[in-house]
Chain A
Amino acid sequence: GQQLNQSPQSMFIQEGEDVSMNCTSSSIFNTWLWYKQDPGEGPVLLIALYKAGELTSNGRLTAQFGITRKDSFLNISASIPSDVGIYFCAGFMNYGGSQGNLIFGKGTKLSVKP
């Protein structure tokens, strides 16, 4: 089945640092989304990207939809402690007889440097 490769799997941040993570796929998607999930909670939508090449910001978060439609990245600038959590990329495409559903990566876990 379709898979999204998300990297890095985990990273440690120090407050104030910028953070980058990305997501690649062997398949083309029409939409890329980025979610954040805190322990014991459901994913929260951060940014949705609808067009190849699109660059969108949401506060300190910036995400881009790759031109090939097979990748996306998320940047977090000037990280703060509450940025800790797991970040998921998700791709969406209607295909074949499917109404379309989200395909998620395995997540990037952001932790605070000890």
Chain B
Amino acid sequence: DTGVSQNPRHKITKRGQNVTFRCDPISEHNRLYWYRQTLGQGPEFLTYFQNEAQLEKSRLLSDRFSAERPKGSFSTLEIQRTEQGDSAMYLCASSWDGQPQETQYFGPGTRLLVL
């Protein structure tokens, strides 16, 4: 399977703990995006990488959130000192510059529940 993969698929944590999610984009896709989706809503943009450079961050990405893509391949999203309001599905998407940037392919997501 050469699609976008995300791990873990589910995460339950206690408030105040740190969590880290991983995204592996489609091979050779140089653009990578993180979105957050809450129940009954569409995905909301968090941040965007082109290769290893983080080019854009949404205002939704508070100081407790950090994303990295050190080698321009996989990416991690870390949430520090989790809050109950962080409970959501975290989606990763990728695309490549041989196609329009908006043609983004999504992974299955990581569902986070903060107790």
Contacts and interface: CB of A to CB of B under 8 A. Distances in A.
Contacts, number: 69
Contact of A102 (B41, B55, B104, B107): B104
A43 B44 contact: no
Given A41-B108, A42-B91, A42-B107, A92 B44 contact: no
A92 B40 CA distance: 21
Interface in B36-80: 40-45, 48, 50, 55-56, 58
A92 B102 contact: yes
B102 A43 contact: no
Contacts of B44: 104
A102 B40 CA distance: 17
A43 B4 CA distance: 11
Interface residues of A, number: 26
B101 interface: yes
Interface stretch (A55-63, A68-76, A93-101): A93-101
Interface string A22-55: 0000000011010100001111110010100000
Contacts of B96: none
A107 B42 contact: yes
Interface of A: 4, 30-31, 33, 35, 40-45, 48, 50, 88, 90, 92, 98-107
18 contacts: A31-B100, A31-B102, A33-B102, A35-B106, A43-B106, A44-B106, A45-B105, A45-B106, A50-B100, A88-B42, A88-B43, A92-B102, A101-B45, A102-B33, A102-B43, A102-B102, A102-B104, A104-B44
Nearest 10 Cβ contacts at the A-B interface: A104-B42, A42-B106, A92-B102, A101-B45, A31-B102, A43-B106, A99-B56, A42-B108, A42-B109, A88-B42
